[in-house]
Amino acid sequence: MMDYTYIPDSFNYKYIKERFDQKNSFLDLQIKYKMGFEKFLLSYLDMEEISRELASVGFAIPKIEDTTANFYRKFSQLGNPYIYIRNNYHVERLTDEELAMLNSNPTSEFFSKTFPKVMFEDGKTVFYGIPRVETECDAKSITFEFAFDKVACQTMEEIISIEDAIERCKAAIKAQLQDRYGLPISFVVYTGIPKLFPKDAIDKII
């Protein structure tokens, strides 16, 4: 039997409330960590290559317009509206000394050392979204999410072109980060089309 975690229930809200004075201070620390980590990641990841692959479809890929409500996209540092880091940021796991460092001038070494503790989930597998095959990822990985509005696509050919470009992006990211530096990578694709909880997925998390 696989060990599953369903986000966002992996946060220990009671501990967070006890340790941090205000909800906003915890959120501010999450944002600070997310932005700092992604800037650190960009020193290893060639986003220009990834953006070129997406642009190679030859038409404007429909965007999902939820940037103001979507934490992961709103504070993304990757510079592309179709791709962002989907991990949650467990800054509550940092020591007092590490939190002080995050609040001052965190270095690349700081993010290199702490990201597994902050971004990885317990167990072996995690669902980023409704539990189903498409949202299932390795819990111990940096997870990239691709997002486009599938309903707004004009033809099936457009959808196929976008999906093919995403597959090329996945291969490029794996080559740059996993193959070259040994960083564990997972992917999720969000199309804006909600699906009901499939029974087999629910059974896995009960």
Q: In the 3-class helix/strand/coil scheme, how is 153-196 assigned residue by residue?
A: CCCHHHHHHHHHHHHHHHHHHHHHHHHHHCCCEEEEEECCCCCC
Q: At which residue do the structure tokens 């699906």 appear? A: 195
Judged against a pLDDT cut of 60, whether residue 6 lies above it is answered with no
- Which amino acid makes up residue 41? L
What pLDDT does residue 69 have? Answer: 65
Q: Kindly give the interhelix angle for 108-119 and 23-41, rounded to the nearest 10 degrees.
A: 120
Q: At which residue do the structure tokens 């103001």 appear? A: 68
Q: What is the pTM of this model?
A: 0.85
**Residue-wise pLDDT tens digits, 36-95:** 999 999 999 999 999 999 999 999 999 998 766 688 999 999 999 999 999 999 999 999
* pLDDT average, residue stretch 152-165: 97
Q: Is 44 left (phi over 0), alpha (psi -120 to 50) or beta?
A: alpha
